[in-house]
Structure 1
Amino acid sequence: MYKYILGILSVIALAGCYKDKGNYTYTELNAVSISGIDSSYSLLQGARLQIKPVLAFSKDASGDTSRYRYEWLAIAKVGGVPLGDRYDLATTRDLDISVTLPPSKDYAVYYRVTDKATGVMFKYVFNLTVSIVISKGLLVLSDVNGQARLDMLSEYPKKYTIYTDVLGMLGSTVPRNGAPVDVAVVSTGYYLSTAAGTHKINTNTFGWLPTYSISYEFQSRMPENMIAQRLVTTFGGVLCYSDGNLYVYSQAYQLRYNLPVNYLAESKEYFKISRHMGVHNRYMIPIILYDETNHRFIRYTAPNSECSLMPEGTLFNYRDPSKDLLYMTWNTYSNGMLFALLKDRATNKVTLARVNASADVLRQNSYDEMAATDIDKARLFAVDPVNGYVFYAVGGKLYEYDVSLKTAKLMLDRPGSEITLLNNASDGLVVGFYQLAGPAETGGSWEKYTVPPVNGPLELKESYQGFGKIVSWITKSS
C-alpha cells in the first residue's frame, strides 16, 4: 500500500518540476563598451580638453543618447592613488571643457555611462596631469638694467621652453623692484629676494600676499622689506643670512626665526659673518661659519642660540687674523669635506684650506698656497664634489684648479663675455655667461657641463639663451 502511495507522489513531483521549466524568462542586459579615449593626457591649466568617446551598445543599435546618463569626474591622486578631492567636470556624452583643475597634480578621471532603463553603469578610467608653465623646470633670476627679472625654463610644452618674466606673465604682485639678490627653494617654500625685500611666492600660481614677507616668519620684529641674501636648507630647518647675521628656523624643534645666532658666549659678543658657509642639508654635522669681524672660523650647531670656537688646528690656525675669506663650501667629496679659500690682505696670495668634516670627524686635511693664474682676481668659485677640483672665474674665463697637481687649467674662454654665475647642479657644473655688449634683456646664457676626471675638457650638456645677467637659479619640481 505504502509503495503505491510513494510512487504516485513521485510522479506528481516530477510533473511539477517539468512544468516549472517554462516559468522563467532570461533577458540579456544592454552592455556598453567604451573606446576612443587615451590612457593618459597631459595639459596646461586653461587648455581645452576635447574627448569624443566611441560607444558600442549590445542591445541598442540606435545609441539613443536620451536613454543614457553621462558623467565625467576627476579625483586628485595622493601618492599615486585617487584619494584626494573630487571635481565634477561634465554631464555630456562628449567632453569639451577648459581645464580649471588645480595644477601640478595628477588626476584619475572617470567617464561613466549609465543605462537609465536598467540602472547599470559602465566606466572608463584614465589619467590626467594638469600643469602650468611654472609647474616644473628651472627658475632663473636675472639682472636687466638694474631690475630683477624671473624667467623660467619650463618642461611644458616641451623640455625646455623659455618664458621670460613669468611673474609679469602670471600677473604676480610680489614686490620685485630694484636689483635681484637671490631665488631660493628651502623646506619652507620658494622665495624671491630683490632690493624690495625677500618674499615667499605661491608654489602653484606665484601669487603673493603682504604676509608672505619673510619678516612674518620671525618671532622678533623685522622690517617688512627685510632682505635675505641667502637661504639654505639644513638638517631639520633653514638658515637665513641677512646683512652679516644668521637666523635659524628649526622645523624639527618648531622654532621660528628669532635673534641672530652669530653670538659667542665666551666673549659675549655678536660678530658679522660671511655669506659663505660650510653646511649640509641632510646630516647633523657642525655648520662652519666665518667671523668677518675677527677673521676666524666659528662652529655652530642648530638649533642652539650661539656659536662656539673651533678647536686648535694641526695644519693651520683657524683664527689667523691676517687673512680674509673669499669662498667656503662643504660637499660630499672624500666622505665630506670643507673647502675654504683665504686671501692674505698684505700679499694678495690665496690659500686653500681643506677640512674633513662629518658627523664624527673634524680634521684639517691640507693648507696650501694656490699658485693659480689670476686667482686673486676671482670672485666666483665652485668645487666639483666628485674630483675635488676648484673652479674659479675671471671675466669670461673659467679655470680648473687641481689640488693634487697644484696646477690651474683654462677650461672655457668667452671673449667679450663675463661669467656671472658659477655653481654645481646634481649632475654637473653650471656656468652663466653674459655678453658685455648686450642686449641686456637677452645677453645671458645658462650652460651645464659634465666635469671629466684627469683634467679632461668640460663637456657641454645643456645650453639655453635669452636671459639677462644671471645671478641665481633653482630647480622647481612642483
Structure 2
Amino acid sequence: MKKNKMYAIFIVLSIVGLLFSCVEDKGSKITLDINEIEISGIEFQYDKTSYFDTLKVSPVIDCSLEGFSEDNLEYAWFFCQNSESLSNHKHEQISSERDLVYKVNVPPGMYTIYFQVTDKSTGVKYDHSFSLYATSQFVRGFYLYGDKSDGTVGLDFVSMPMGKDTTLIKDIFINSLQIKGAKDLIFTGHKDNGYNALWAVTRDNQYSIEYSAQLERVDVIQDQKLEDRIYPTLSSVQRPFHLMNICPGTWGPNCISLSGEARMRLIVTENEIFTGNMALSEAYGNPINRDNANTDQLFKPYPVAFYSAAESSVSYVCFFDMTNHCFKKPGHRIMSSATKCDKPSVDSEFPFYFDQNKYTPVRQIVYGENGYGNNGRSYALMNDADGNYWVYAFTAPMEYASDPIKHYASQIDLSVATDFARAAHYAFFSEQMIILYSVGNLLYAYDYNRHDLQVIDMGAEITYLAMEHQSTLSPSDFIVATYDDFEKGVVRKYSIADDVNTIKIVPYERAVWGTDLKVVKIIWKYSNY
C-alpha cells in the first residue's frame, strides 16, 4: 500500500515538473530532467490565394535535452474556423505531419492555424499559432466570355491580384442551365459597393450571373430576371426583352461607378431604352426612346449610350435613333426622370448633320464607341446605301442644356482600307485618327487622315477586338482574341503608338493567355464583393 502511494507522489511531481526544466527530489537527491521544446521558423502571417495556393510551413523544433530524438514527438496542425467568434469556434485537424502542406481551399478571410507538438514520453504539449490571410483570386482581372467547343457558354478569369503573378483560371462558370450561344457579357460592378450586376447575354436570352469574389465558381442566379425589374405600360414594348447594354458602367482600374451617388442606370434592350434611379431600388417604367411622352411609338435605338469615357462620373448621355436616322438625347435635365428623347437644339452641316436624313442617300450608324483619349471623344461609324463610310468624332453632352460637340467627319478611302465593309469588328484609337478592324484572321489598322494601312495576320480567326483603357487608363491599349479548332482560343494585348506620322503596334509579351473558349467578350473587373 505504501509502495502505491510512493508511485502516486512521483506522478504528481512529474506533472508539476512541466513548469521547470528539472525537478529535484530532496529525499533521494535524484534530479529529473524535463525536455523543453521550442518552436520557431514560422512566420507571423501567411498571405495566400483562396482555392489556388498551397500553404507550406517547415517549422524548426529545438529540444532542451541533448540527444533527444524527434521520434518521441507527435505533430498536429489545426485550422481554426471562425477564429474571431468565441461563440462559434471550431478547430479542424488538417495534418499530423511535421511539415505542413495545405491546399488553401477555403473562402477568402482571416484564419488562425495552430501547430502542436506532443512529447510522447511525458504527454506535454507545446503550441504555436499563426495567421493565414486568404485572399480571393477573383477580385481583380479580366473575364473571358465565350463558347466552349460543344456550344455551351463558358467563363474564364485572368486573375491579377495586387503584388502577385497573373494567372488564368479556366472554367469558373458552372452553367447548370446549359445555356448556349455567347453574345455579350455586361458587368456594372463597383470596387466597394453592392450595386454590382453581371449579365451573360446569349443570342436569345440574358442571365444574371453570380459575381462574388468569395466564390470559387459561379452560376446563373435563376430567381433574378430582367423582366422582373421593368414595369412598362406601353403596348409597343416588345417582350421578351433582349438585353443589349447597361450603362453607365464603371471607370478606371478600381471600377468606380460612373453613375456616382445618383445611382442612375440605363437599360438598353433591342427595342427600348429604360432609365431609372437606384437610390431606393432597381426598377424601370416606360421606355424613353420616343419623341413624345404621349405616344406609344418607339424608335429603335443603337445599343450604345454615348458619353465621355474620360470622366469618372456620368450624369448625361446621347443616343442614335436608328429608325429616324438621327442623334438624340434624353428629354429631361435629370436623365432618370426623362420620359422621351429630343433632337439636339441646333444642327448644322459642318462637320456633319445630327439628322442623317439631310444626306442623300440617308446615312445609318454601323458602329459606335466611347473613347478615352482626347478628353473622352465618342465615335460613330456611318455608311449609306451607296457603300460609303464616314467616321464622326464628337463629345457627348454632359447636361440637357448642351448638344454634342462635333469635331470632324472623315470619309473612309475604300481603295486603301481593304475589305473595310466586310469587317466583323471595329475599334477606334482615340489619340489618333486610326480605326482598327478585322476580317477573318487579319487585323487592320487604318489611318483615315493619312490614308495609310497596316495589316497583321493573327494566324486564326479574330473573334473579339476592342480598345482596353479601363485596367490601366491607357488610351493606347487594345485587346484581341482569336480561335481555331487546333490551338483553341488565344487572347493578346497590344499597344498602338500615339504617333501622327506612322502606325506602330507593339504586343505586350506577357499579356498572352490561352483559353478553350471562342471568346466574344472581355471585360475588366475589380470588386471585393
SS at match of 1:211: coil
* Greater mean deviation of Cα atoms: 357-366 or 375-384: 357-366
Residue matched to 1:231 = 246
Instruction: Name the SS for the 1:40 alignment partner.
Output: strand
Cα deviation digits, residues 363-420 of structure 1 (max 9, x gap): 21112222251433334211224445322223333232335x34242242346x4322
**Corresponding residue to 1:40 among 41, 46, 66:** 46
The aligned counterpart of 2:461 is 418
Secondary structure of 1:303's counterpart equals helix
SS at match of 1:275: coil
Q: 2:182 aligns with which of 176, 180, 183?
A: 180
Match of 1:294 in 2: 324
d(CA) in 1 for partners of 2:86, 2:423: 52
Alpha-carbon deviations, 1:402-446, whole Å to 9, x = none?
35x34242242346x4322111222511112234xx35xx54322
Give, in whole Å, the separation in 2 of the partners of 1:223 and 1:36: 67
* Partner Cα distance (2:337, 2:37) in 1: 67
1:175-254 to 2 correspondences below 5 Å? 175-177=178-180, 179-187=181-189, 188-195=196-203, 197-203=205-211, 204=215, 205-219=217-231, 226-232=241-247, 233=249, 234-235=258-259, 236-252=263-279, 254=281
Larger deviation, residues 362-371 vs 277-286? 277-286
**In the TM superposition, what is the alpha-carbon distance from 1:325 to its structure 2 partner?**
0.1
The code of the aligned residue for 2:154 comes to: L
Cα separation, 2, equivalents of 1:229 and 1:249: 16
1:266-314 superposed Cα distances (whole Å, 9 cap, x missing partner): 7833211012331348323531211111111111363134322222234
CA drift at 1:449: 0.5
1:24 alignment partner in structure 2:
none
Give, as a single letter, the amino acid of the residue that structure 1 aligns with 2:106: L
Supply the distance in 2 between the matched residues of 1:447 and 1:228 (Cα, whole angstroms): 28
Instruction: Tell me the distance in 1 between the aligned counterparts of 2:92 and 2:220.
Output: 32
Give the total of aligned pairs: 429
Separation of aligned partners in 1, 2:266 and 2:184: 14
What letter is aligned with 1:413?
D
Letter of the 1:451 partner, please give it. I
Distance 1:286 1:93, change over 3 A: same
Superposed displacement of residue 340, structure 1: 1.1
2:14 aligns to what?
A: none
- How far is the alpha carbon of 1:135 from its aligned partner? 6.1
User: Where does residue 302 of structure 2 map in the other structure?
Assistant: 274
Report the counterpart of residue 382 of structure 1 in structure 2: 427
Q: Separation in 1 of the partners of 2:228 and 2:200?
A: 15
The question of 1:398 aligning with 2:443 is answered yes
Q: How far, CA to CA, are the matches of 2:443 and 2:356 in structure 1?
A: 29
Q: Contact between 1:174 and 1:199, CA under 8 Å: does it hold in 2?
A: no
Q: Contact between 1:75 and 1:85, CA under 8 Å: does it hold in 2?
A: no
SS in 1 for 2:356: coil
Write 1 or 2 for the structure with the bigger share of strand. 1
Which runs of structure 2 are paired with 1:447-458 in the superposition (5 Å)? 447-454=492-499, 455-458=502-505
Deviation digits for residues 320-365 of structure 1, max 9, x if unmatched? Answer: 12011011122232222121111022x2111111113353663211
Partner AA of 2:176 in structure 1: T
Q: State the alpha-carbon separation in 2 of the partners of residues 85 and 212 from structure 1.
A: 35
Pairing partner for 1:460 from 504, 507, 513: 507
1:443 and 1:470 map into 2 onto residues whose CA distance is 10
Gap regions ≥5 residues in structure 2: 1-18, 22-34, 119-125, 190-195, 250-257
More divergent stretch after superposition (355-364 vs 302-311): 355-364
CA distance in structure 2 between the partners assigned to 1:45 and 1:278 by the alignment? 40
Equivalent residue, structure 1, for 2:142: 138
- Write the distance in 1 (CA, Å) between the matches of 2:526 and 2:363: 40
CA distance in 2, matches of 1:364, 1:200: 37
Please tell me the residue identity of whatever aligns with 2:187. Answer: V
Q: Contact 1:181/1:229 (CA < 8 Å) preserved in 2? A: no
* Pairing 1:359–2:362 present: no
State the alpha-carbon separation in 1 of the partners of residues 92 and 78 from structure 2: 6
Write the distance in 2 (CA, Å) between the matches of 1:48 and 1:394. 44
List, as ranges, runs of 4+ consecutive aligned residues in structure 1 with deviation greater than 6 Å: 27-32, 61-66, 68-71, 82-87, 91-98, 112-115, 221-225
Supply the distance in 1 between the matched residues of 2:63 and 2:290 (Cα, whole angstroms): 78
SS at 1:299's partner residue? strand
Do 2:154 and 2:517's aligned partners in 1 also have CA atoms closer than 8 Å? no
The residue aligned with 2:287 is 260
> What percent of counterpart residues are identical?
16
The aligned counterpart of 1:336 is 376
Matching residue of 1:79: none
- Per the alignment, residue 521 of structure 2 pairs with 472
What amino acid maps onto 1:109 in structure 2?
A: T
- 1:43 is displaced (CA, Å) by 4.4
Q: Could you tell me how far 1:152 is from its partner in structure 2? A: 1.5
Deviation at residue 458 of structure 1 after TM alignment? 0.9
Q: CA contact under 8 A between 2:110 and 2:133: conserved in structure 1? A: yes
Given the two structures, how large is their TM-score scaled by the length of structure 2? 0.67
Over residues 16-40 of structure 1, what are the superposed CA-to-partner deviations in whole Å (9 max), with x where a residue is unaligned?
xxxxxxxxxxx99999864232441
Q: Which of 400, 412, 415 is residue 370 of structure 1 equivalent to?
A: 412
Higher relative contact order (CA 8 A, sep 6+): 2
In 1, Cα distance between equivalents of 2:114 and 2:482: 51
Secondary structure at the residue paired with 1:109? Answer: strand
Q: For the structure 1 residues 367 and 136, does the alpha-carbon distance in structure 2 shift closer, same or farther, using more than 3 Å as the test?
A: closer
Are residues 333 and 88 of structure 1, via their aligned partners in 2, closer, same or farther at CA, if it must alter by over 3 Å? same
What's the CA shift for 1:223?
Answer: 10
Contact 2:445 2:503 in 1 (8 A): no
* Maintained 8 Å contact 2:76/2:117: yes
Cα displacement string for residues 192-244 of structure 1 (whole angstroms, at most 9, x for unaligned residues): 12245211222223133420333333345999975323333252344332223
Alpha-carbon shift at residue 459 of structure 1 (Å):
0.8
Counterpart contact for 1:182–1:471, Cα < 8 Å: yes
1-side partners of 2:177 and 2:303: how far apart?
25
Q: Answer yes or no: is the 8 Å Cα contact 2:159–2:169 preserved in 1.
A: no
How large is the RMSD of aligned CA atoms in angstroms?
A: 4.3
CA drift at 1:453: 2.1
